[in-house]
Amino acid sequence: MLQVLHRILDRVRPVPGPENRAGPAIDERIFHRPALAEDLAASLMSRSYASGMFLTAPRRTGKSTFIRHDLIPALERQHRALVLYADLWEHRAEDPGAVIVGLVASALKARTSAAQRLLERFRLSRLKVPGLELDMDKAPPAPALQPSLRQSLERLSNLTRRTVVLIVDEAQHTQTTAYGREVMFMLKSARDQLSNRELLMFRLLMTGSHHAKIERLVRYKHEAFYCAPLKAMPTLGGEDYFEWERAAHAPAFLPALEAMSQAFEICLRRPEVFHIACQAASAHVGNRAETQEQLLLRMARQQIGAERQEFLHRLMRLDPLDQAVLRSMAEAGPSFAPFFPAAGARISTLLATMPGMPARGTAPDDIRASLARLCEANLVWSGDGPYVFEDAQAAVWLKELEFSRLTADSSAAGRAATAPASSGSTPSRRSTRGAPAAVA
Ligand SMILES: Nc1ncnc2c1ncn2[C@@H]1O[C@H](COP(=O)(O)OP(=O)(O)OP(=O)(O)O)[C@@H](O)[C@H]1O
Ligand SMILES: [Mg+2]
């Protein structure tokens, strides 16, 4: 009888085994990284990642694209995993906890109703196998008796006889609501109970673009995933990628791969921005005034320069105290201690260098209020830990600034903004010399 039941259940399991499954559809607009996907998938399914895997990479570097187009197909193909994927930024208006719980619930509902339809067809009223019970005569459970997240994940794994892999993209967003935080603890409990069974039932992958925010989830003792492994997701950037990108433009567009690599760094390893720079260079490839390499590097700098200018204009609209707080935060890095006297003294010095600002002391309450405004403006973030920049690149640009040239006057902003920009990740020699001199 059990064999018959399993045959019925196999009808519910829609994905054929890896041996006879066609490969994923290849999207030509995407540079695929199958080897990396296979590696990561194998790691995630191994015992070393029974506590879950936390991956970070900076913004717009291709995390979601890689997960959707390479990693999920590898998990499905090579490990027969049932992958549930939630991008919490895609559902920003909804409670992140509800998005995760809803995703699991609807996957379970879809599988359960498929099983129920089959039972009806086979004229069975009840099906009971380890970990799963379907009873056609029973009313659905009352809301108070809804299964826990752990129970739902377990049922889903039993029903499909596959490992459920839950991927939460932009997982730091769970920390924005009480329910989101609670769901993280529910997931921890599910992980603890399901990850080490003889039959692998559950794996969890969390990713995010903000390293400090994701790091908090695994470094702080009171967080659900304290001690879970944290990894940097490799960004794009090998020779094969540059060749692939080069081939997407005019046939005459043939800059050396070394220059392409430099341009990619200038674009902060973001494929979208790099593509635009290559497109712009490719359009001017007949221009003999400069080499293709020079042209490409100039286009890349132009892209990043425009972003820097936009940031500086935003900075200029802030209260001078907020500008000085940001700058001192950028200088201090992780050791920024805003309410200690040294920070107050530094902020006062910075303020005094700004044209038209009278010399005055800065009290901790002023700094607290300023940080609250900066958090409100989405320039700074703080959970219950240290203050960090929302965008790490802002710190690099702030450190490059000649602070004495900053005023609320937008033409000055324009002058500061059009000062030569560095590659983005390395401060220029000119500005690192200029900034301290200006604020000393
Ligand atoms: N492998 C790739 N090949 C080609 N283009 C890519 C690739 N990965 C990403 N891109 C380009 O970069 C853009 C950003 O990618 P994606 O949304 O995956 O990044 P992300 O790191 O998840 O961004 P966010 O921080 O906003 O969540 C995509 O819209 C696409 O244009
Ligand atoms: Mg993303």
What pTM does this model have?
A: 0.81
Q: Name the residue of 27, 211, 272, 279 whose CB sits within 8 Å of the most ligand 1 atoms, as the mutation to test its pocket.
A: 272
pLDDT at 7: 57
| Residues with Cβ–ion distance below 5 A, ligand 2 | 63-64
| Ligand 1 pocket residue status of 276, Cβ below 6 Å | no
| Ligand 1 pocket residue status of 195, Cβ below 6 Å | no
Q: Under DSSP, is residue 270 helix (H, G, I), strand (E, B) or coil?
A: coil
**How much distance in Å is there from the Cα of 260 to the middle of ligand 2?**
24
Q: Which of 424, 428, 427, 426 is nearest to 61 (CA)?
A: 424
Strands 380-381 and 388-389, by their bridges, are: antiparallel
In the CATH hierarchy, which top-level class contains the domain 2-16+26-232?
alpha beta
Q: Under DSSP, is residue 56 helix (H, G, I), strand (E, B) or coil?
A: strand
Token pair belonging to 373 = 């405004």
Phi then psi dihedrals of residue 53, to 5 deg: -125, 130
Which residues neighbour 355 within 8 Å (Cβ) at sequence distance 6 or greater? 404, 407
Q: Under DSSP, is residue 166 helix (H, G, I), strand (E, B) or coil?
A: strand
pLDDT at 50: 92
Counting ligands in written order, the one closest to the CA of 210 is 1
Q: Name the residue of 32, 33, 60, 242 whose CB sits within 8 Å of the most ligand 1 atoms, as the mutation to test its pocket.
A: 60
**How much distance in Å is there from the Cα of 436 to the middle of ligand 2?**
37
CA distance 395 to 387: 12
User: How many other C-beta atoms are found inside a 10 Å radius of the C-beta of residue 6?
Assistant: 12
| Ligand 1 pocket residue status of 173, Cβ below 6 Å | no
Q: Which of 246, 229, 247, 253 is nearest to 56 (CA)?
A: 229
pLDDT at 124: 62
CA distance 116 to 125: 9
| Ligand 1 pocket residue status of 59, Cβ below 6 Å | yes
- Report whether 163 contacts 80 (CB < 8 A): yes
**How much distance in Å is there from the Cα of 62 to the middle of ligand 2?**
7
**How much distance in Å is there from the Cα of 81 to the middle of ligand 1?**
24
The domain limits of the chain are 2-16+26-232, 239-309, 317-439
| Ligand 1 pocket residue status of 90, Cβ below 6 Å | no
Strands 53-56 and 230-232, by their bridges, are: parallel
Nearest protein CA to atom 13 of ligand 1, as residue? 272
Phi then psi dihedrals of residue 128, to 5 deg: -135, 115
**How much distance in Å is there from the Cα of 357 to the middle of ligand 1?**
43
Nearest protein CA to atom 4 of ligand 1, as residue? 30
CA distance 103 to 258: 44
Give the CA count within 13 Å in the CB-facing half-sphere of 149. Answer: 21
CA distance 354 to 378: 24
| Ligand 1 pocket residue status of 207, Cβ below 6 Å | no
- The tens-digit pLDDT sequence of the chain (440 residues) is 445 555 555 555 544 443 334 445 567 889 999 999 999 999 999 999 999 999 999 999 999 999 999 999 999 999 999 999 999 988 888 999 999 999 999 999 988 876 666 666 666 666 665 555 556 565 555 555 578 999 999 999 999 999 999 999 999 999 889 999 999 999 999 999 998 777 789 999 999 988 888 888 888 888 888 889 999 999 999 999 999 999 999 999 999 999 999 999 999 999 999 999 999 999 988 877 899 999 999 999 999 999 999 999 999 999 999 999 999 999 999 889 999 999 999 999 999 888 877 777 789 999 999 999 999 999 998 876 789 999 989 999 999 887 766 654 444 444 444 444 444 443 333 333 223 222 22
**How much distance in Å is there from the Cα of 271 to the middle of ligand 1?**
7
CA distance 180 to 172: 10
| Ligand 1 pocket residue status of 61, Cβ below 6 Å | yes
- The alpha carbons of the chain give a radius of gyration, in whole angstroms, of 27
Counting ligands in written order, the one closest to the CA of 34 is 1
Helix axes of 271-283 and 292-316: crossing angle, nearest 10 degrees: 130
